[in-house]
Chains A and B, each alone.
Chain A
Amino acid sequence: MSQVQSYFSQLDSIDGELATLNLGPTHPATHGIFQNVLKMDGEKIVSAEPTIGYIHRAFEKLAERRPFNQITPITDRLNYCSSPINNMGWHMTVEKLAGIEVPKRAQYMRIIVMELARIADHLVCNAVIGVDTGALTGFTYMFQERERIYDMFEEVCGARLTTNIGRIGGMERDFTPGFHAKLKDFLKTFPPRFEEFARMLERNRIFMDRVINAGPISAEMAMNYGFTGPNLRAAGVDYDVRVMTPYSSYEDFDFIIPVGQNGDTYDRFMVRQEEIRQSLKIINDAYANLPEGAYHADVPDYYLPAKDEVYTKMEALIYHFKVVMGEVPIPKGEVYHAVEGGNGELGYYLVSDGGRTPYRLHFRRPCFIYYQAYPEMIKGAMLSDAILTMSSMNVIAGELDA
């Protein structure tokens, strides 16, 4: 037992020495609805008891009553910082179950959209780590960049935050000229601005002193607690679903999985910084090699026909009706599909009995799984480090509570 631990276990036995502090559920520093009942000794945390479920919306139950194409908007609201990844993960799950082969162009388009979403997700997380250490400047600049990513989503699907992007079988429309212009501009102007942000924090002595050793976790503990994604990689394990089980043609791309060493806030920050650079590289590669061809598979049973055809052609009208009513020839069976979400392995376990809706749909939500290690990680830390640990773990309330 370390000196600190024995000190605290000794304190624990003395009644009335410890103060109870209710952090949350609506605390401006927690960026979401999280409640932690902390036992404090001065400014040091002795124990934490998290309560979750404040924005639980019963998605798994809702999904049992919705046709497959209507479940996409539910997935938007899991990790709402990177909705497109959730959407694509769901489409790919249904495609796996129905055996739909998506054209190469649609796969590359999905990769571009997903990596843009990853950049937006990581930008928010890292900018907020800056805010929590007292550097608001980087946040304001990086939020402008996130806005530009959302402008691009708007060009593709018409929505910004809860995107409902893509369809079962491909994408809803080809990239518009506006998207091409915005993406080209983004790829040119974002990297220097991002490097400016990186210069502000990455080797900043004050920032480093503040975040190094804040909320560390060992690789072994992280794996036992089910960590995935950047938080696990910060602890030194190079597990990435994009590489382990490539989906949507990730195997065509050459990129590096950054890993950290100590699993502390600084490593989590640096891993996300490097992942943004790698995502940019993937986008550049995918955009330069964007194949010609269709942007969706020819699956009229699942993919809504174009509106002008619906109004003029009988067949299109019938398929439109069938898709809207959920009359899809989905086979019986079960599939598990995982994608690398902003926070780790986002898994969908779909059990179908051949009906119009899933019989059972389970979301493996990375936030929910790794947030349970939070009390362990902040034991013995200062209160301000606890705030920093939470923001660097990028706990998203929507994904936590489903």
Chain B
Amino acid sequence: MNLSNELVLARFEQEFPGVVKATETGIDGILAVEIDREQVADVLRKMRDDSVLQFNFLSSLNGMHFPQNEGRELGVVYHLHNWVKNFRMRVKIFFPISNPHVPTLTGVWPTANWMERQEYDFFGIVFDGHPDLRRILNVDDLDVFPMRKEFKMEDGTRTDKDDRFFGRDGHEGRSFD
């Protein structure tokens, strides 16, 4: 039996009632579900072991920062892949930047180890229970989390690349302080 977004959602309702907070389907047709961060390790482990869902492979894991979303500034997106039925989906969690703690996935997939270290390095997301949460790509004594949006790439006085001048509200024109 092939999986479809509807089937996966139905299975979610059956196996983890009330866990899904929001769903959306990306332009690429991949289903994304948002869940609570406290449940992420449990739900992903069950998704791996479930006989229908069988999401056996963690493709990637990446942090996100939306400074304008108060109370849910930081996020983590997990890309899961079911190799048996060749089906992909996304799981998202969002949480406040003042309390950036997320349960680790290293107990579910060892590959999450370096992925989580990378997102800690860039976003300051603390993965609770991680065996070795250190910076990985940046120098050890860096005291900022450089992928957060408050760190601008170029001189802050430069205005020629402001989206507002081109009649739209892209992120370049937003203020982040």
**A-to-B contact residues, CB < 8 Å:** 52-53, 56, 58, 60-62, 64-65, 96-97, 99, 223-226, 239, 244-245, 327, 331, 333-338, 345, 347, 349, 351, 353-357, 359-360, 362, 364, 368-369, 371-373, 401-402
Contacting pair B60 A349 (CB below 8 A): yes
What 15 new A-B contacts, CB under 8 Å, besides A327-B166, A360-B64?
A52-B136, A52-B137, A58-B146, A96-B27, A96-B28, A225-B110, A226-B109, A244-B86, A336-B26, A336-B88, A336-B90, A347-B79, A353-B170, A362-B77, A369-B60
B62 at the interface (CB under 8 A from A): yes
Name the CB-closest residue of B to A56. Answer: B137
Contacts A53-B137, A224-B110, A369-B115 given; indicate if A335 touches B26 (C-beta within 8 A).
yes
Q: Which residues of B130-175 have CB atoms within 8 Å of chain A's CB atoms?
A: 136-139, 146-147, 151, 153-154, 161, 163, 166, 168-172
Q: Which residues of B56-101 have CB atoms within 8 Å of chain A's CB atoms?
A: 56-60, 62, 64-65, 77, 79, 83, 86, 88, 90
Alpha-carbon separation in the docked complex, A327 to B162 (Å):
12
Contacting pair B26 A334 (CB below 8 A): yes
Alpha-carbon separation in the docked complex, A164 to B138 (Å):
27
Name the CB-closest residue of A to B108. Answer: A224
Q: 23 A–B contact pairs at CB < 8 A? A: A53-B136, A53-B137, A53-B139, A56-B138, A58-B146, A223-B56, A224-B109, A224-B110, A226-B111, A327-B166, A333-B26, A333-B27, A334-B32, A336-B90, A355-B163, A355-B172, A357-B171, A360-B64, A364-B59, A364-B60, A369-B111, A369-B115, A372-B110
Contacting pair B109 A97 (CB below 8 A): no
Alpha-carbon separation in the docked complex, A52 to B170 (Å):
34
Contacting pair A355 B114 (CB below 8 A): no
Contacting pair A402 B26 (CB below 8 A): no
Contacting pair B114 A369 (CB below 8 A): yes
Contacting pair B153 A64 (CB below 8 A): yes
Contacting pair B153 A372 (CB below 8 A): no
A374 to chain B, nearest CB (A): 11
Name the CB-closest residue of A to B166. Answer: A327
Contacts A347-B60, A356-B172 given; indicate if A368 touches B114 (C-beta within 8 A).
yes
Name the CB-closest residue of B to A65. Answer: B153
Contacting pair A357 B138 (CB below 8 A): no
Query: Which residues of the other chain, A, contact B168 by a CB distance below 8 angstroms?
Result: 354-355
B127 at the interface (CB under 8 A from A): no
Alpha-carbon separation in the docked complex, A402 to B154 (Å):
20
B113 at the interface (CB under 8 A from A): yes
Query: Which residues of the other chain, B, contact A353 by a CB distance below 8 angstroms?
Result: 170-171
